[in-house]
Amino acid sequence: MVNRLLEISKIPLTLITAIVIIIQLYMAFYYAQTEKYMGEIQKIMYFHVPSAFVAFVAFAIVFIGGVLYLYTKNKQWDYLAVSAAEIGVLFATFVLVTGSLWAKPVWNAWWVWEDPRLVTSLILWFMYIAYLFIRASVQGEERHRKFAAIFGIIAFLDVPLVYFSVKWWRTIHPKVIDEQGVHMPVEMAQTLFFSIIAFQFLFFTLLIYRFFLERQKEKIKEIKNIELKR
C-alpha cells in the first residue's frame, strides 16, 4: 500500500521539488539583499544551513529505520535507513565544504576548533561514514543489515551527548536565531526558512528514488540467486 502510494507520488513530488528549488535559487540570489559586511559570500548560508537540517533529518531516519528493522525484521526499513544514510553523508559533506568556503574569508581560517558546531558536524560525519563502512565490510545479507541497524541506533543516541559536550566549549559561530528571535532582515529570514523547506523537499525526493533503487537492487539479487539455484 505504502509503496504504491510512493510510486504514484514520485512524479508529482519531483515536479514540486524542481519548482521549489528554482524559487529557492531566485530568492537566495535576487530576493534576499546582499549582506553589508560579508557581501556575496553570505549567500552560502541559504545552502549551508538547509543542508545541515537535511543531514540531521536523514540521520534521524537512519535511527528510526534501524529500530523498526530490528523490531519488525522487514527489509524495507533497512532500505530506508541505508538510503537516508547515504544522502545524509552527502549533505553533511556539503555542509562541511560550504562552511569552510564561508569561513575562509570571514573568519580568516578554513577550520576553527573552538567552535562546537563545527566539531559536532565533523564527528557526525565520521559516525555516518563508519555506518556506510559497516555496510560495505560486513559479510552476509541479514548480518550487515542488523549490524548497521545497531550502529545506527547507538550513533544517534550519541548525538545529543556529542552536542552538549562540544557545546560546553567556547563558541564563535554566528547565532542568527536565539531566544530573542531572528537577528536578520525579513527578506533574508524568509529566504532562509524557505530554503530549509525547499531542501527538505529535495531530500525526500532523493530519498524516494534511492529507496526504489535499493529495492530494485535487492530484487535483482534475488532473481540472480533463483537462477543460480536452478
Partner 1 sequence: MNFYKQTFLILKRDLTLEFRQKSLLFSMIIFALMLQVFLNIAFDTDMEAMQKLGAGILWIPILLSAMLGFNRIVAMDKENSVLTGLLVSPLDKGALYLGKFLGNLVLIFIVICISVPAFFLFVQQPYPNSLGLLIAVLILGSWGFVAMGVFLATLAQSSRITELLLPVMLFPLSVPLFLGIVQLTEVALYPSIEMSQNVWLILLASYDILFTIIPLFLFDYLLEV
List residues binding partner 1 (CB under 8 A): 70, 123, 126-127, 129-130, 133-134, 137-140, 142-143, 146-147, 149-151, 153-155, 157-158, 161-162, 164-166, 168-169
Q: How far is the CB of 1 from partner 1 (least distance, A)?
A: 28
Tell me which amino acid residue 134 is: I
Q: How far is the CB of 130 from partner 1 (least distance, A)?
A: 5
Residue where the block lists cell 537492487: 217
Q: How far is the CB of 175 from partner 1 (least distance, A)?
A: 20
Q: How far is the CB of 67 from partner 1 (least distance, A)?
A: 10
Q: How far is the CB of 136 from partner 1 (least distance, A)?
A: 9
Q: What value does the CA radius of gyration of the chain take, rounded to a whole number of Å?
A: 20
Residue with smaller CB distance to partner 1, 10 or 146:
146
Please state the three-class secondary structure of 207-219 as a single string.
Answer: HHHHHHHHHHHHH
Residue with smaller CB distance to partner 1, 68 or 134:
134
Interhelix angle 116-137/141-167, nearest 10 degrees: 170
Cα dihedral 137, 140, 145, 149 in deg (nearest 10) = -60
Residue with smaller CB distance to partner 1, 31 or 111:
111
> Is there a contact between 171 and 116 (Cβ–Cβ < 8 Å)?
yes
Burial of 141 (0-12, 13-18, 19+ CB in 10 A): exposed
Residue with smaller CB distance to partner 1, 43 or 145:
145
Residue with smaller CB distance to partner 1, 41 or 112:
112
